[in-house]
Amino acid sequence: MEARTLGKTDVEVSPIGLGCWQFSQGKNITGRMWSVLDQETMDAVVDAALTGGVSWFDTAQAYGNGASERALSAALQHRGVEPGTVVVATKWLPIAKPARDIPRTIGTRIACLQPYPIDLFQVHSPGSLSSIPAQMREMARLVRAGKVRAVGVSNFSAKQMAQAEAALRDEGLTLASNQVRINLLDRRVESNGVLAAAKGLGVTLIAYSPLAQGLLTGRYHDDPALVRALPWGRRSRLSPSRRFLTPAGLARTAPLVAELRAVGEAHGASVVQVALAWLVTHYGDTVVAIPGASRPEQATVAAAAMDLRLAEAEMASIERISAAVARR
């Protein structure tokens, strides 16, 4: 698949990137969603992603309070990646903070990721004490100061996304992206106005949790006992996929996994590759995806989805079964 541009910016990315939440190293409540990885393993994951053609990486302040950012930077340096040759995205944590916290904390984000520049700086979610226009004004100042390259948001509704785009337009800039949950079991962007707004505004949607936190790998359907081995956070009410990790949830989603497996067998591809290929094809250039990986082989498999071409009949069959079980 050809590279895609984030919104109307000049930032180009591969259709599939690497999400780095799992690099949180167990720090903070967000880090408890994943097992702790050592630097050698994280190096190997990043290396596998790059080898597979992945050109960009998404991290955040919230992922271990900088632990993920530092681990990503270290992995890229260990691989000998030159600054500017890959795209790095990170996020400001806005919860209960005013917009003036953006310029106050950007130095820490830059320090954690150095020597790699911040290509995409995102507001992680709604929840700032300041208005969306105030947040965008601060973001625009960072762009003009050369501290970040482009501005995005995450978990914004259609209305909030439009407000952010309008505020940036007043600053002579454009909104690059909105990072939201999209996968074959969660397609609410189709009904809540987010997808339509993104297309109308020319904003890219970055699909996080594109494999529904592992549910679309099929491993929990093959061995339900694996659910009990998940970290606490993945089984708690904090996890959006929790309802599908029950016996009833696994039974409900089994036909979809079976169809993904059948399509994959026809192409010599895995369930994961079919699920990702469907996602970055079905919505056209509007959607790119950032699956995570805790082992290098997972990154290799995910990257290879960019080489998979599904037939129209296969796309339609997956769509039909997904529609029967997905949140819409």
Q: How far from chain centre, in Å, is Cα 248? A: 27
Cis upstream peptide for 115 (omega within 30°)? yes
Query: In sequence order, which ranges of the chain are alpha helices (DSSP H)?
Result: 28-31, 39-51, 67-78, 101-113, 132-144, 158-170, 194-201, 219-222, 232-235, 247-267, 271-282, 296-304, 312-325
Q: Which of 63, 208, 220, 283 is catalytic?
A: 63
Quote the Cα angle for 40-211-232, to 5°: 65
Strand-pair partners of 87: 56
Helix 296-304 and helix 271-282, axial crossing angle in degrees, nearest 10: 50
Answer whether 252's CB lies under 8 Å from 212's CB: no
**Residue the block writes with tokens 């109307």:** 8
Whether 116 is a known active-site residue: answer no
Residues 6+ away with beta carbon under 8 Å from 107 = none
| Catalytic residue numbers, as ranges | 63
